[in-house]
């Protein structure tokens, strides 16, 4: 019994050792004398913990492992075997910097768009090149050129890293039919933000905290927040796309006037994948909370298959979309006025509710779970009576008359009392 369990313990230990040996200890940890290579984000975490924490929670870190990507990717792999590099050039980019067949590619895939991909990039070619990025392993390209006397790795200033062109290699894509599937970069480039020099980094890589307080030299800059929150951040959306509305009632009709503004988004909203939508819904209620009417408007870009049928599957957008069927998204700083008329019977509305939600597809497993809706904002608007002026004057006169009559009555009573009656 004892011998048996010690034998099985030996087998287990051996198996564990084999497993351990098969896991690359640290993706890319270079030994002295070996040529420089790429390193895992866990290495960077030792000295850049705040940046690591924010990146870890980002969509970039999960760009390959995310089930919302994996499912369409699997479908694509099954239907078009041998073409998966199309997706991987942006979702698993370090693969194309490693030598073909390098086993570490599988380890790096777990890190998606990882630190050492972005910081080894030396240049990007936005014209039909594959892969678009060129890199130099072992050099960390960054916005500050390193701190004098503090270098632990070779650090180099890169102008590319502080411009939108750096992001464009992945955030801009036209498919074989010339249809723009991802156009965040060109939406930005056509806006006034380009002229103002407000690049993607200004909004998407802000300082985590102001380091002037902890660095008396005054030069100090805080580490940058790498969470790159986009449409998935509710607080961000609510500030970026404010909603205002008024509700007026006159006669047998209620009119809801809504103002939607793209106040702080540096490109169209929604942007990114055409599967992202903004849904504006309005509801009208009477004083007891009964619904009197409902209206909806969706802001989106819909791509078609060439026969006016919408393409919805993510992988087909990249390979089969041939036309733009609809694009009513809001451009930078654009205000959209929406007027909605609700016919009323004899009922009177008391309040309207206007809600904005951001929708993204779920991994498409159950048809009933196809959309995740992130509420952005909800405003309640009390009804303003749109009475005709004549009625208002009549009511005012009636009130004045009643007040005067009441006052006269009180005075007479008081006089009677003082007369002792
Ligand atoms: C042993 C500690 C250490 C490790 C590990 C480390 N760094 Fe650094 N890094 C620093 C220090 C210190 C600085 C600031 C001084 C300098 O430039 O060397 C810095 C600066 C940087 C900069 C800023 C460059 C600029 O513009 O000023 C980048 C980018 C960078 N590191 C990326 C990385 C990446 C990516 C990794 C992981 C692959 C990594 N670092 C691993 C310590 C480290
Ligand atoms: C999607 C690409 C991308 C990824 C992934 C990324 N970075 Fe960065 N990082 C940038 C860009 C671009 C800048 C420059 C932003 C600016 O200056 O406005 C930057 C700035 C930095 C800086 C210099 C500024 C500072 O905060 O000190 C450091 C250090 C850094 N990154 C480290 C890291 C580390 C460590 C990771 C992984 C945990 C990482 N980065 C992941 C793109 C990336
Ligand atoms: C190597 C390709 C690559 C580069 C370079 C890159 N991104 Fe991304 N980015 C992606 C991918 C892929 C996703 C989607 C990940 C997912 O959802 O699975 C993404 C997601 C995002 C999101 C989240 C979008 C959302 O829906 O919430 C933002 C914001 C973003 N990137 C901004 C940037 C900015 C800013 C830069 C430049 C500093 C940049 N990215 C550089 C590939 C890249
Ligand atoms: C002026 C600030 C600003 C600038 C500049 C900016 N963005 Fe954004 N971005 C935002 C805000 C706010 C959101 C969230 C609202 C939204 O999703 O439409 C966002 C959302 C996103 C998203 C998610 C899109 C969606 O609708 O799901 C991506 C991807 C993105 N940005 C990438 C970029 C890239 C790449 C650049 C540069 C070419 C850039 N952004 C420039 C503010 C900015
Ligand atoms: C040019 C770069 C690029 C290529 C090529 C590319 N993607 Fe992406 N993909 C992105 C970026 C950037 C985003 C994030 C945009 C956004 O926020 O909407 C994204 C988002 C996605 C999403 C949405 C993920 C989510 O979290 O909602 C899916 C699904 C996806 N891609 C699948 C694919 C498939 C499948 C392929 C190959 C057929 C592919 N992509 C090719 C850059 C690319």
Report the separation in Å between the CA atom of 205 and the middle of ligand 2, taken as the mean of its atom positions: 8
Q: Report whether 96 contacts 85 (CB < 8 A).
A: yes
Q: Is the CB of 163 under 6 A from ligand 3?
A: no
Report the separation in Å between the CA atom of 171 and the middle of ligand 3, taken as the mean of its atom positions: 7
Q: Which ligand is nearest the CA of 358, by number?
A: 4
Q: Which ligand is nearest the CA of 97, by number?
A: 3
CA torsion through residues 39, 45, 47, 53, sign: positive
pLDDT of residue 367: 46
Instruction: Name the pTM for this structure.
Output: 0.88
Nearest CA to ligand 1 atom 18: 151
Q: Is the CB of 299 under 6 A from ligand 4?
A: no
pLDDT of residue 374: 76
Q: Does domain 234-389 have CATH number 2.20.25?
A: no
Residue from 44, 153, 163 to probe ligand 1 pocket by mutation (most atoms less than 8 Å from CB): 153
Atom of ligand 3 minimally distant from the CA of 228: 29
**Pair of tokens at residue 421:** 């009656």
CA angle 112, 116, 118 (to 5 degrees): 75
Q: Which ligand is nearest the CA of 240, by number?
A: 4
Q: Which ligand is nearest the CA of 235, by number?
A: 4
- SS3 string, the chain, reads CHHHHHHHHHHHHHHHHHHHHHCCCCCCCCCCCCCCCCCCHHHHHCCCHHHHHHHHCCCCCCCCCCHHHHHHHHHHHHHCCCCCHHHHHHHCHHHHCCCCCCCHHHHHHCCCCCHHHHCCEEEECCCCCCCCEEECCCEEEECCCCCCCCCCCEEEECCHHHCHHHHHHHHEEECCCCCEEEEHHHHHHCCHHHHHCCCHHHHHCCECCCHHHCCCCCCCCCCECCCCCCCCCHHHHHHHCCEEEEEEEECCEEEEEEEEECCCCCCCECCCCCCCEEEEEEEEEECCCCEEEEEEEEECEEEECCCCCECCCHHHHHHHCCEEEEECCECCCCEEEEEEEEECCCCCEEEEEEEEEEEEECCCCCHHHCEEEEEEEEEEEECEECCCHHHHHHHHHHHHHHHHHHHHHHHHHHHHHHCCC
* Cα–Cα distance for residue pair 24/201, rounded to 1 Å: 33
Q: Is the CB of 173 under 6 A from ligand 5?
A: yes
**Pair of tokens at residue 90:** 């942006």
Nearest CA to ligand 3 atom 19: 60
Report the separation in Å between the CA atom of 140 and the middle of ligand 1, taken as the mean of its atom positions: 7
Report the separation in Å between the CA atom of 226 and the middle of ligand 2, taken as the mean of its atom positions: 7
CB-based contacts of 85, cutoff 8 Å, min separation 6: 96, 130
Using only the alpha carbons of the chain, give its radius of gyration: 31
Residue from 68, 183, 199, 231 to probe ligand 4 pocket by mutation (most atoms less than 8 Å from CB): 231
Residues forming beta bridges with residue 355, ordered by sequence position? 281, 378
Compute CA 172 distance to the chain's CA centroid, rounded to the nearest angstrom: 16
For 17-45, letters b (16+ CB in 10 Å) and e give eeeeeeeeeebbeeeeeeeebbbbbebbb
Report the separation in Å between the CA atom of 292 and the middle of ligand 4, taken as the mean of its atom positions: 37
pLDDT of residue 258: 95
CB under 6 Å to ligand 2: residues? 41, 44, 48, 51-52, 55, 60, 113-115, 118-119, 142-144, 161-162, 166, 201, 205, 223-224, 226
Q: Is the CB of 272 under 6 A from ligand 5?
A: yes
Report the separation in Å between the CA atom of 362 and the middle of ligand 2, taken as the mean of its atom positions: 29
Strands 323-327 and 180-183: unpaired
Atom of ligand 3 minimally distant from the CA of 273: 26
pLDDT of residue 302: 97
Report the separation in Å between the CA atom of 329 and the middle of ligand 1, taken as the mean of its atom positions: 39
Q: Domain limits of the chain? A: 18-163+199-213, 234-389
Q: Which ligand is nearest the CA of 47, by number?
A: 1
Nearest Cα to Cα of residue 243 among 359, 332, 360, 335: 335
* Cα–Cα distance for residue pair 97/406, rounded to 1 Å: 90
pLDDT of residue 383: 84
Q: Is the CB of 200 under 6 A from ligand 4?
A: yes
For the chain, list residues with pLDDT below 50. 1-31, 218, 366-369, 421
408-417 confidence digits (pLDDT tens): 888 888 777 7
Q: Report whether 352 contacts 341 (CB < 8 A).
A: no
pLDDT of residue 371: 66
The CA-to-CA distance between both ends of the chain, in Å, stands at 116
φ and ψ of 297, to 5 deg: -140, 135
* Cα–Cα distance for residue pair 246/34, rounded to 1 Å: 68
CB-based contacts of 63, cutoff 8 Å, min separation 6: 69, 90, 91, 92, 112, 113
CB-based contacts of 132, cutoff 8 Å, min separation 6: 89, 124, 125, 126, 169, 170
């Amino acid at each position: 019994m004892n011998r048996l369990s010690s034998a099985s313990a030996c087998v287990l230990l051996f198996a564990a050792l084999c497993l351990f040996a098969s896991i690359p200890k640290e993706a890319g940890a270079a030994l002295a004398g070996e040529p420089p290579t790429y390193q895992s984000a866990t290495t960077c975490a030792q000295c850049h913990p705040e940046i690591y924490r924010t990146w870890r929670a980002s969509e970039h870190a999960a760009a390959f492992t995310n089930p919302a990507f994996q499912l369409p990717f699997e479908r694509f792999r099954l239907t078009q075997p041998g073409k998966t590099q199309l997706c991987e050039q942006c979702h698993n980019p370090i693969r194309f910097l490693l030598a073909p067949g390098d086993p570490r590619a599988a380890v790096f895939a777990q890190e998606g768009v990882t630190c050492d991909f972005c910081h080894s990039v030396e240049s990007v070619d936005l014209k039909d090149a594959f892969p678009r990025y060129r890199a130099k392993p072992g050099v960390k390209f960054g916005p500050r050129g390193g701190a004098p006397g503090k270098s632990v790795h070779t650090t180099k200033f890169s102008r590319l890293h502080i411009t939108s062109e750096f992001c464009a290699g992945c955030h801009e894509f036209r498919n074989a039919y010339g249809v723009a599937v991802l156009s965040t970069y060109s939406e930005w480039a056509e806006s006034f933000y380009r002229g103002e020099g407000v690049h993607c980094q200004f909004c998407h890589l802000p300082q985590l905290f102001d380091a002037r307080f902890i660095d008396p030299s005054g030069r100090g800059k805080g580490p940058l927040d790498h969470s790159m929150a986009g449409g998935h951040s509710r607080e961000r959306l609510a500030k970026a796309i404010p909603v205002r509305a008024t509700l007026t009632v006159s006669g047998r009709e209620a009119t809801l006037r809504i103002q939607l503004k793209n106040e702080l988004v540096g490109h169209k909203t929604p942007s990114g994948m055409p599967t992202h939508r903004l849904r504006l819904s309005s509801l009208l209620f009477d004083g007891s909370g009964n619904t009197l009417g409902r209206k909806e408007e969706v802001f989106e870009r819909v791509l078609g298959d060439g026969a006016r049928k919408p393409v919805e599957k993510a992988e087909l957008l990249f390979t089969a979309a041939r036309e733009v069927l609809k694009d009513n998204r809001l451009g930078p700083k654009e205000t959209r006025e929406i007027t909605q008329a609700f016919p009323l019977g004899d009922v009177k509305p008391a309040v309207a509710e206007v809600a904005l939600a951001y929708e993204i597809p779920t991994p498409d497993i159950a048809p009933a779970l196809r959309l995740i809706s992130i509420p952005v904002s909800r405003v309640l608007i009390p009804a303003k009576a749109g009475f005709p002026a004549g009625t208002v004057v009549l009511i005012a006169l009636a009130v004045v008359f009643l007040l005067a009559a009441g006052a006269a009555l009180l005075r007479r009573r008081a006089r009677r009392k003082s007369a002792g009656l």
